[in-house]
C-alpha cells in the first residue's frame, strides 16, 4: 500500500469556505460542552461510541475533470451540535482530546473508504501535526487498517510555519516508513513558500483565497514560487475552492494540474460503485532521504571544488550571502554555523536579528550557543568534538535563489582572522538545499 500525507483543511474555523465548512462560531460549542453537568462530555461520549463519520469531496485532474482522489472530511452525527468540523475540533481543543479526535477521524476516513475506492484513486486524510509522533509504532495501525487504499495525509501550511524544524523531523521519520506528503493552504502564510523545499511535499494545495479573491502582488509571488517548486520537483499543484468556470480558468493559468471545489462536487458519501482509473501512484514523487551529514560532508560527497583561504578573506563572502538574503523580496531560510558562541559577535547578532524579521526561518549553530541567541533566531549548541563544530557555513535558500559558503577549519592557531579554511562557494540549488536540510534536522537535535 502506498501512503501520502497532506497538511490541513477544515479543522480550524478560520478562513473556511462555503464548501461544507462550519461557521466560525461553531467552536463556541466547546464552552457548552465544558459546562455540561454530565460526567462525560458529549464529545467524549461520541468518541467512545465511534460516532465520528466522514464525507468525501472529489479531487479531479485538470482540464478533463477526471476524478483521481477524494478528500475525507470529518463530521459528527447528523443534526447534532457536534456535526460540523468546527464544533468537533473546538470541543476537542477545549478538552485536550485533539489527538483522540484526530485518530478517530483517520479511522472513520479509512473505514468509510474501504471497499468504496479502487487503489488507483487516492484518499486524502487530514492529520494534525501535533500528533505526528515519529515513534516506531505510529503509522503502522493506520497502514494496516487501510489495506490496499492509496492514502494521502494532509497538514496545513499554517502548522508548517509554527515549528518547521520539528515538523521536518517528523516528516523525515514518516517518509522512511513509505509515506508521501502534500501541503495544504499554501498562500495563507507567505513564509511557507520558502519552507516548501525542506518538507518537499508531493502535492501542493493552493489556498482557496488565491482562486476566489482579487489577485495581487503577494499572490503572484506565491504562484511563481509554487510553479518553480513544481517544475523543479515534479510535484502536483492542486487548486482548492474552485466553484465557477472562471475559478477553473484562473487555476489552469497558474499551472494547477488538480482541482477541488463545488464545481466538481460537494462533500458527500462515496459513490456506491468504486471509482477506477485515478493516478494515485503519479501523485507521489520519489523523495531522496535526508541524511545526517554536515554541509561540508554533503558538498565533498558531491565533488564540490574546495580552495584554501584565511578567515579574513572569506568574511566578505559570508556577509555578501547574508545581504543577498536581506535583499530578496521573497522569504528565505538562512543558516549560520559559527563553530563557537564567541564567533556570534554583537555585529553578527545585529545582522541575524534583521534577517530574522523578514525570513521564514533563521538558524544558528555553535558550541555554547543559546537556544535563542537573538530574537527570531533558533539556536543549537554543538559539542566541541563533533564534525559540525569544525565548520563555518552560511547558507541561504529562497524560492528563486540558493547560495552557500561552506568552509572547514584547517586547525591553525594564532590570530582569528588568519586561521585558514578549506572552502567552497556553492550556488547549485540542489546541493545547497541538501546542505540546508541537514542543518534543519540538526536544529531539533536529530
What pLDDT is stored for residue 201 in this prediction?
A: 86
Q: How confident is the model at residue 384 (pLDDT cuts 50, 70, 90)?
A: confident
pLDDT at 445 > cutoff 80 = no
Give residue-wise pLDDT tens across range 167-213: 776 676 666 665 668 888 888 777 778 888 888 888 999 989 888 98
Quick one: pLDDT at residue 412? 92
- Residue 162 is assigned to a structural domain of this protein: yes
Same domain flag for 344 and 412: yes
Do 141 and 43 lie in a common domain?
yes
Q: Does 16 have pLDDT greater than 50?
A: no
| Residue 242, SS3 per DSSP | coil
Please check whether residue 14 lies inside any domain of the structure: yes
Terminal-to-terminal C-alpha distance of the chain = 28
Which range marks the domain in which residue 365 is found? Answer: 295-442
145 assigned to some structural domain: yes
Residue 298's pLDDT is: 94
Distance CA 430, CA 434 (A): 6
| Same domain as 372, residue 438 | yes
Residue 290 lies in a domain: no
- List % helix, strand, coil for the chain (3-state, nearest 5): 40, 25, 35
- Does residue 154 surpass a pLDDT of 70? yes
Is residue 289 in some structural domain? Answer: no
Which pLDDT does position 159 carry in this prediction?
A: 61
Residue with cell 494540474: 257
Res 256 pLDDT > 60? yes
Buried residues in 414-436 as b, exposed as e (16+ CB within 10 A): eeeeebbbebbbbeeeebbbbbb
Judgement on whether residues 279 and 329 belong to the same structural domain of the protein: no
- Predicted pLDDT of residue 444: 58
Alpha-carbon distances, residue 291 vs 38, 127, 406 (angstroms): 52, 25, 17
DSSP letter assigned to residue 71: E
The reply to whether 196 and 63 lie within a common domain is: yes
- In terms of average pLDDT, the best of 22-31, 114-123, 349-358 is 349-358
Tell me if 283 sits within 8 A of 4, measured CB to CB: yes
Residue 369: phi and psi, rounded to 5, are -80, 140
Per-residue pLDDT at 153: 76
Q: Structurally, how many domains does the chain consist of?
A: 2
- Mean pLDDT, rounded, of the chain: 82
Q: Which of 224, 253, 283 is the last residue of a domain?
A: 283
pTM as predicted: 0.74
> What's the pLDDT at 37?
45
Task: Please give the Cα distance from 417 to 317 (Å, whole number).
Answer: 14
SS3 291: coil
What digits encode the pLDDT tens for the residues 71-108? 999 999 999 999 999 999 999 999 999 888 988 998 89
Q: Is the peptide bond before 63 cis (omega within 30 degrees of 0)?
A: yes
Same domain, 12 and 96: yes
Domain boundary among 283, 308, 323: 283
Residues 321, 242 share a domain: no
Order of all β-strands in the sheet with 307-310:
307-310, 420-426, 401-409, 391-398, 333-340, 361-367, 378-381
* Residue 288 placed within a domain: no
232 is a domain residue: yes
φ, ψ for residue 426, nearest 5 deg: -125, 135
Residues 304, 263 share a domain: no
User: What is the average per-residue pLDDT within 308-322?
Assistant: 95
Amino acid at each position: 500500500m502506498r501512503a501520502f500525507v497532506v497538511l490541513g483543511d477544515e479543522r480550524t474555523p478560520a478562513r473556511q469556505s462555503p464548501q461544507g465548512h462550519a461557521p466560525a462560531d461553531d467552536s463556541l460549542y466547546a464552552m457548552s460542552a465544558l459546562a455540561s453537568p454530565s460526567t462525560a462530555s458529549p464529545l467524549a461520549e461520541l468518541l467512545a461510541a465511534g460516532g465520528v463519520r466522514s464525507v468525501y469531496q472529489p479531487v479531479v485532474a485538470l482540464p478533463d475533470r477526471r476524478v483521481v482522489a477524494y478528500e475525507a472530511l470529518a463530521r459528527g452525527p447528523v443534526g447534532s451540535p457536534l456535526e460540523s468540523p468546527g464544533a468537533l475540533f473546538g470541543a476537542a481543543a477545549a478538552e485536550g482530546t485533539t489527538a483522540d479526535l484526530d485518530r478517530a477521524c483517520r479511522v472513520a476516513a479509512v473505514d468509510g473508504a474501504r471497499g468504496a475506492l479502487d487503489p488507483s484513486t487516492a484518499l486524502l486524510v487530514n492529520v494534525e501535526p501535533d500528533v505526528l509522533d515519529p515513534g516506531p509504532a505510529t503509522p503502522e495501525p493506520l497502514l494496516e487498517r487501510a489495506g490496499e487504499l492509496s492514502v494521502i495525509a494532509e497538514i496545513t501550511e499554517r502548522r508548517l510555519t509554527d515549528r518547521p524544524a520539528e515538523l521536518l523531523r517528523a516528516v523525515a521519520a514518516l517518509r522512511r516508513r513509505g509515506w508521501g506528503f502534500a501541503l495544504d493552504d499554501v498562500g495563507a502564510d507567505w513564509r511557507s513558500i520558502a519552507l516548501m523545499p525542506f518538507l518537499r511535499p508531493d502535492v501542493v494545495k493552493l489556498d482557496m483565497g488565491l482562486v476566489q479573491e482579487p489577485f495581487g502582488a503577494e499572490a503572484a509571488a506565491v504562484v511563481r514560487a509554487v510553479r518553480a517548486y513544481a517544475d523543479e520537483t515534479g510535484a502536483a499543484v492542486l487548486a482548492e475552492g474552485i466553484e465557477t468556470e472562471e475559478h477553473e480558468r484562473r487555476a489552469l493559468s497558474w499551472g494547477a494540474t488538480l482541482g477541488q471545489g463545488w464545481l466538481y462536487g460537494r462533500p458527500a458519501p462515496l459513490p456506491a460503485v468504486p471509482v477506477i482509473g485515478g493516478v494515485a501512484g503519479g501523485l507521489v514523487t520519489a523523495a531522496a532521504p535526508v541524511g545526517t551529514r554536515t554541509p561540508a560532508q554533503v558538498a565533498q560527497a558531491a565533488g564540490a571544488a574546495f580552495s584554501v583561504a584565511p578567515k579574513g578573506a572569506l568574511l566578505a563572502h559570508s556577509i555578501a550571502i547574508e545581504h543577498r538574503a536581506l535583499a530578496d523580496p521573497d522569504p528565505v531560510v538562512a543558516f549560520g554555523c559559527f563553530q563557537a558562541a564567541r564567533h556570534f559577535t554583537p555585529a553578527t547578532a545585529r545582522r541575524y536579528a534583521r534577517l530574522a524579521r523578514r525570513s521564514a526561518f533563521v538558524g544558528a549553530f555553535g558550541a555554547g550557543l543559546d537556544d535563542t541567541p537573538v530574537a527570531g533566531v533558533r539556536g543549537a549548541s554543538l559539542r566541541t568534538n563533533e564534525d559540525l563544530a569544525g565548520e563555518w557555513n552560511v547558507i541561504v535558500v529562497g524560492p528563486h535563489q540558493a547560495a552557500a559558503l561552506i568552509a572547514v577549519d584547517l586547525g591553525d592557531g594564532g590570530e582569528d582572522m588568519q586561521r585558514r579554511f578549506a572552502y567552497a562557494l556553492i550556488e547549485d540549488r540542489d546541493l545547497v538545499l541538501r546542505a540546508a536540510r541537514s542543518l534543519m534536522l540538526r536544529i531539533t537535535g536529530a
